[in-house]
Structure 1
């Protein structure tokens, strides 16, 4: 016979086991309910999705965006009579910073929060399967705060992101805009409220997709990006609600070599190491090229512009190059490209790209950055990836009184300020890169045919050129350009 104390202990053990099992059942039931809730379809209609195409005002880009808008509405009309709203970003506001999206969130909140569930953003070349997109969004409860997209992450800490998350760069996820991305209206409302009380802190816009993700995450106070496998950049299968029409734009015959003048900015201390790399890699692709320095060295040859070298800024040198281009080059030279002596560029791909732009328009083209856009600032083309000017843009610039405030002022920012004052917008192309290939996620570069990279830090620049930009790659690039991007979607 068991002692009473032992019987009591056994009774407690049995009771505890029963309670534990009961708790486990309750937890399992709760988890099942959560999973059921997650898998349950949320009954939203197309009219509750606001589509925002991240468009630009340049005629080529505006036309592409309009074609995507028509595709969305045509697909929607095949599904329902209640069509969604499709907005073109460049038409939403005349303010310079509209392309950075965050300043527009209060407008979205006021205008669409009562009758909409989602704001869905895409680039002009994003391809959207409307039925699949609707099915995908129905998986998420639109009364919750959601930030959805295809996730990118840094493989190592990078200067582009100010070395953020240097301890674990892969931890922070941000969206690949090319695949499309979505904000639930409750999150839009929350962000709009925060923007009114807490202005954006950073003066510079460098990598918008990363900066938007940081702002939404709010050091853990907001939602992180939720990866959505149906948001694709390649045609990965029937599950994809979006894909990205990846190509090097070609709108007819590539621009002739003789229509492009290439100016390389250099200085005496880099003649011996950087100029040989330019000549070993891409210089032979250029028909018209000059090297501008603070010292004339005939074997290269370099041209001394009479502007003292500066450690930074180079505004005086850049404006001297612009004036020399207008005064000395033949009128048939339609385009000027200014690059640094450590820029790697494909002139043949640039010729493809420029076929989509009208040189009689004022075109200022490259990788777009922003300065002070929340407080009336301006956009500019960052110099390292290459700055492309039409002759008309240079003529209008130099006819104005806008000039450098010093020789060492930042040339790209002064140009941005000047063109903004003239009403000439920056035309952005993600194919120009201010940094090295290792500074970008592999998934991001995988759907690009790049035109340029910049910097020689800790890399073999010749190898980078041969891997990413060399003419031997042109065969595959050309195959992707055969479909005229002006065609209907």
Structure 2
């Protein structure tokens, strides 16, 4: 055996011996860091590799101060990698600051702007979330495998297991036949595709008035009934935690499954308002009491009938079959009276909402209650034509006391008691310039309505609807416990299968 191989073998043996003396967390951390460095350097030196200056990163940021700060930190990390690789830096944009248009989060309105500003100098447009880590050296290598002169739509594919209401029951005969990107893993458009899309948006805006699941709707718009490209899977675009062994070969990873900003807010900091009506007192309220009511320090049930056995409070607003605007505004006014509560936060939920209050308390530590905060799952109406965003009510609507004060001080009112409360509040917030802050941890539908590969990298805060499920079982499988997956590993057995 050649002497240099003996020396290498001895060196490797010494390295293994030294590593064996270290804590496993340090060993794995060192290996991960060294592995990522080697891969980045190799990809960065790949012949014909994409130059970073040809890449535009678009961080899907939000106007809320917490999210804007996180996005700025992500931009700084991307630019720092370019310095470490000693290459020309990429362009890194924050979505919320591109055009100061509330609807820009839906991507479609900014496509013409992106192409006009960067189409001549850039070949690739990479969209990512604020928690998405990117190894830019590996990304250069991967992008070089694709012809930048052709239309490409790249990402980590998600598929529906069954037809779902949040996708308007699309592809009902074979839901898994259509792929759409997991935004958390980043997704990529080539210049020819973004050029065509920019022109298409001007000539033919998206047909639907409602923006519900943007990931799916973007993929449908690009696919164009089979006339455009389908999503091309890139296995290296991942959603594993950056500290995990599985993430070593990934271009993208996640920093966390839920933001952690310190100790959770106190139980007494959240006032919970449950909307119900007499016909559901015996059907839905028992589910709340068996599941998450115990975690609330301040909770009231609002109904059209005062039932002392629950108890419920009659706000004097008749029950309506559609929309509950009158009831919701009565709740806002009751919360604003300090004699009821002085809590910083108001949570409004339906009686068939399943929610983890401990996880919500952890999440709310990231937000400043002295700011006007409106938090939940964000939907949009007419965003391509100057519409507005709103929090979909079923997943839970969270408001800071400041936001409630501003809403009630404005001239905004319900045009009828049965108007859709979430949409009316969205119009009010838009008129006041208060951003709707989105969290993907709130869910308007049931766990079965979402791909497992999406939920696996979340710590869900809420789900909605009791239809065709055992809601108590769903709560204990998905929402019980503070930390999520690690608290109940049996609920996440399919992690290893993905």
Structure 1 and Structure 2 fold alike (TM over 0.5): yes
1:43 Cα shift? 4.0
Give the aligned partner of residue 485 of structure 1. Answer: none
2:176 maps to 1:170: yes
CA contact (8 A) 1:126 1:243 kept: yes
Q: Distance in 2 between matches of 1:401 and 1:372?
A: 22
Q: Distance in 2 between matches of 1:127 and 1:55?
A: 14
2:59 maps to 1:53: yes
Q: Distance in 2 between matches of 1:142 and 1:432?
A: 37
Q: Distance in 2 between matches of 1:303 and 1:228?
A: 53
Q: Deviations over 1:24-77 (max 9, x none)?
A: xxxxxxxxxxxxxxxx96542000000000001111111111111010000011
Q: Write the mapping of 1:59-74 to structure 2, written as runs, cut at 5 A.
A: 59-74=65-80
CA contact (8 A) 1:337 1:387 kept: yes
Give the aligned partner of residue 432 of structure 2. Answer: 422
Q: Tell me which of 330, 339, 344 is aligned to 2:354.
A: 344
Q: Distance in 2 between matches of 1:427 and 1:210?
A: 20
Q: Distance in 2 between matches of 1:44 and 1:359?
A: 44
Q: Tell me which of 160, 163, 171 is aligned to 1:157.
A: 163
CA contact (8 A) 2:157 2:182 kept: yes
Give the aligned partner of residue 320 of structure 2. Answer: 310
CA contact (8 A) 1:257 1:286 kept: yes
Q: Deviations over 1:272-313 (max 9, x none)?
A: 010000000000000000000000000000000000000010
- Helix, strand or coil: the match of 2:217? helix
2:364 maps to 1:354: yes
Give the aligned partner of residue 412 of structure 2. Answer: 402
Q: Deviations over 1:407-458 (max 9, x none)?
A: 0000000000001100000010000000000000000000000000000010
Q: Write the mapping of 1:77-96 to structure 2, written as runs, cut at 5 A.
A: 77-96=83-102
Q: 1:407 to 1:247 in 2, by over 3 A?
A: same
1:267 Cα shift? 0.1
Greater shift in the superposed pair: 115-124 or 330-339: 330-339
Give the aligned partner of residue 110 of structure 2. Answer: 104
Q: Distance in 2 between matches of 1:475 and 1:124?
A: 21
- Helix, strand or coil: the match of 2:433? coil
Q: Distance in 2 between matches of 1:409 and 1:129?
A: 48
Q: Tell me which of 229, 246, 265 is aligned to 1:223.
A: 229
Q: 1:368 to 1:218 in 2, by over 3 A?
A: same
Q: Distance in 2 between matches of 1:291 and 1:124?
A: 36
Q: Deviations over 1:325-366 (max 9, x none)?
A: 112545631100000000000011100000001101000000
Give the aligned partner of residue 129 of structure 2. Answer: 123
CA contact (8 A) 1:369 1:381 kept: yes
CA contact (8 A) 1:248 1:477 kept: no
Q: Distance in 2 between matches of 1:199 and 1:473?
A: 41
Give the aligned partner of residue 27 of structure 1. Answer: none
Q: 1:135 to 1:420 in 2, by over 3 A?
A: same
1:374 Cα shift? 0.6
Greater shift in the superposed pair: 190-199 or 215-224: 190-199
Give the aligned partner of residue 193 of structure 1. Answer: 199
Instruction: Show structure 1 runs of 5+ residues with no match.
Output: 1-39, 480-489
Q: Tell me which of 366, 382, 397 is aligned to 1:387.
A: 397
Q: 1:418 to 1:204 in 2, by over 3 A?
A: same
Q: Distance in 2 between matches of 1:217 and 1:323?
A: 46
1:473 Cα shift? 5.8
1:163 Cα shift? 0.2
Normalised by the length of structure 2, the TM-score is 0.86
Q: Deviations over 1:375-407 (max 9, x none)?
A: 110000000000000000000000011010000
Greater shift in the superposed pair: 93-102 or 40-49: 40-49
Q: Distance in 2 between matches of 1:231 and 1:414?
A: 38
- Helix, strand or coil: the match of 2:331? helix
- Helix, strand or coil: the match of 1:380? strand
Q: Distance in 1 between matches of 2:69 and 2:392?
A: 25
1:105 Cα shift? 0.7
CA contact (8 A) 1:158 1:439 kept: yes
Structure number with greater Rg is 1
CA contact (8 A) 1:117 1:142 kept: yes
Q: 1:374 to 1:475 in 2, by over 3 A?
A: closer
Give the aligned partner of residue 458 of structure 2. Answer: 448
What is the aligned residue count?
440
1:198 Cα shift? 1.1
Give the aligned partner of residue 285 of structure 2. Answer: 275
Q: Tell me which of 88, 110, 114 is aligned to 2:120.
A: 114
Q: Write the mapping of 1:253-264 to structure 2, written as runs, cut at 5 A.
A: 253-264=263-274
